[in-house]
């Protein structure tokens, strides 16, 4: 069974090489983006951690900041470590690229750049991958295609789970706030009388 590598031990390894670059929060190792490359290199080259295999590289939009998530695996010692790097600048997010350490980061970083707009500084070929150059916006950001009235993508609740989360039944009041450009309804909105349908 693949063990989870202890984040505290990893923090000690990193801090020995790059003091203060790592901290542990709630069992997760956070690395400082500015010193990411040397921190990860110390984890990769240290015989104790031996994290030589970059399993997975992705990002999460946490509304206030981006989290770039790395899963590093040691094949010989069979343990895995999750590393996160916080990017707070939403306008021009950037983290150093790991392509110098892991060749396998090439395509994964390009994917994150394409869908989140996080620049990986030092990536030799940072272009959009799935979408074309000039595609407006970055689809996996939470504010992509955000509608007015703070309505955003995502599922508020299960269908028919409770009254306030219920999906609109046909004919009922549209829950979506009106866009100023939408044709405005005339008069009061008609609320469908469900009692008649059910009887």
Partner 1 sequence: MTTADDTQLAMQGTIEALTTGDGSEPVVVNLGPQHPSTHGVFRLKVTLDGEIVQDAEMRIGYLHRSMEKLAEERTYTQNIPFTDRIDYLAAMSNNLAYCLAAEELLGIEVPPRAQAIRVMFAELQRVASHAMANGTFINDCGAWHTPLFYMFRDRERVLDMFEMTCGARLTTNYMRIGGVAFDLPDELLPTLESFLADMPDRIADYEALLMENEILHARARGVGVISPEMAINSSLSGPVLRATGVPWDLRKANPYCGYENYEFDVPVGEQGDCFDRFLVRMAEVKESLKILRQVVDTLPDGPWLADVPLHARPEPGEAYARVESPRGELGFYLVSDGGPAPYRFHCRPPSLINLTALKEMSVGGTLADAIVTLGSIDIVVGEIDR
Partner 2 sequence: MTDLAQLGNVLGAWYDFRDLNNLQRLITEWIAEWGPDWLASIVTGVLGALGILAVVGPTLLILIWVERKVISRFQQRYGPNRVGPKGLLQPVADAVKLILKEQLAPRAADKLIFFLPPVLIFVPGILIWGVLPFGPRMSVADLNVGVLFLLAVSGTAVLVIFMAGWSSNNKYALFGAMRAVAMSISYEVPMVLALLTLVVFSGTMSVNGIVEWQQQEDVIFILLFPLSAIAFFFAASAELNRTPADISEAESEIVAGYHTEYSGMRFGLFYAVELGNTLVVSGFIATFFLGGWWLWGLDQWVPSWIILLVKTGAVYFLLIWTRGTLPRLRIDQLMSFCWKALVPATLLFVVVAFVERTLLISEGWDTTVALPIMAVFNIALTLGAIMLFARVARPAPLRRPARIRMAGSDIGGLRAAREVASRREEPQFQVGGD
* Residue 156 binding partner 1, by CB under 8 A: yes
Per the CB < 8 A criterion, the answer to whether 88 and 17 are in contact is no
Task: Please state, in angstroms and rounded to a whole number, the distance separating the CA atoms of residues 20 and 154.
Answer: 37
* Residue 100 binding partner 1, by CB under 8 A: no
How many amino acids of this chain bind partner 1 (CB under 8 A)? 38
Residue among 76, 91, 163, 188 that touches partner 2 (CB under 8 A): 76
Q: Which residues of 48-86 are buried (b: 16+ CB within 10 A; e: fewer)?
A: ebbbbebeebebebeeeebebbbebbbeeeebbbbbbbb
Q: Of 26, 162, 19, 17, whose CA–CA distance to 8 is shortest?
A: 26
* Residue 190 binding partner 2, by CB under 8 A: no
* Residue 74 binding partner 2, by CB under 8 A: yes
Of 77 and 94, CB closest to partner 2: 77
Residue among 23, 28, 53, 129 that touches partner 2 (CB under 8 A): 53
* Residue 52 binding partner 2, by CB under 8 A: yes
CB under 5 to 8 A by kind: which of partner 1, partner 2, none does 90 bind?
none
Separation in Å, CA 73 to CA 8, 102, 133? 16, 12, 33
CB under 5 to 8 A by kind: which of partner 2, partner 1, none does 74 bind?
partner 2
Minimum Å distance from CB 88 to partner 1?
18
Task: Please state, in angstroms and rounded to a whole number, the distance separating the CA atoms of residues 78 and 5.
Answer: 9
Task: Please state, in angstroms and rounded to a whole number, the distance separating the CA atoms of residues 105 and 60.
Answer: 17
User: Which residues make Cβ contacts (< 8 Å) with residue 93, sequence separation at least 6?
Assistant: 66, 87, 116, 117, 118, 119
Minimum Å distance from CB 76 to partner 2?
4
Both tokens of 198, joined, read 């059910």
Helix (H) or strand (E) holding 186: none
* Residue 132 binding partner 1, by CB under 8 A: yes
Of 15 and 106, CB closest to partner 1: 106
List residues near partner 2 by CB under 8 A.
Answer: 52-53, 74-78
List residues near partner 1 by CB under 8 A.
Answer: 1-2, 52-56, 58, 60-61, 69, 71, 75, 78, 82, 102-108, 111, 115, 129-132, 139-140, 144, 153-158, 161
């Amino acid at each position: 069974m693949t063990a989870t590598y202890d984040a505290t031990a990893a923090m000690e390894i990193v801090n020995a090489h790059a003091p203060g670059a790592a901290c542990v929060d709630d069992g997760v190792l956070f690395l400082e983006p500015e010193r990411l490359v040397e921190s990860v290199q110390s984890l990769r080259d240290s015989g104790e951690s031996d994290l030589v295999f970059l399993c997975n590289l992705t990002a999460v939009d946490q509304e206030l900041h981006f989290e770039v998530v790395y899963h590093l695996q040691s094949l010989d010692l069979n343990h895995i470590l999750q590393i996160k790097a916080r990017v707070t600048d939403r306008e021009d997010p950037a983290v150093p690229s790991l392509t110098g350490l892991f060749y396998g980061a090439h395509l994964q970083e390009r994917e994150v750049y394409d869908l989140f707009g996080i620049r990986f500084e030092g990536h030799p070929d940072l272009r959009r991958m799935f979408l074309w150059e000039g595609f407006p916006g970055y689809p996996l950001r939470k504010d992509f295609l955000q509608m007015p009235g703070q309505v955003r993508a995502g599922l508020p609740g299960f269908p028919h789970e409770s009254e306030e989360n219920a999906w609109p039944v046909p004919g009922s009041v549209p829950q979506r706030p009106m866009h100023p450009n939408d044709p405005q309804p005339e008069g009061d909105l008609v609320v469908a009388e469900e009692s008649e349908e059910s009887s």
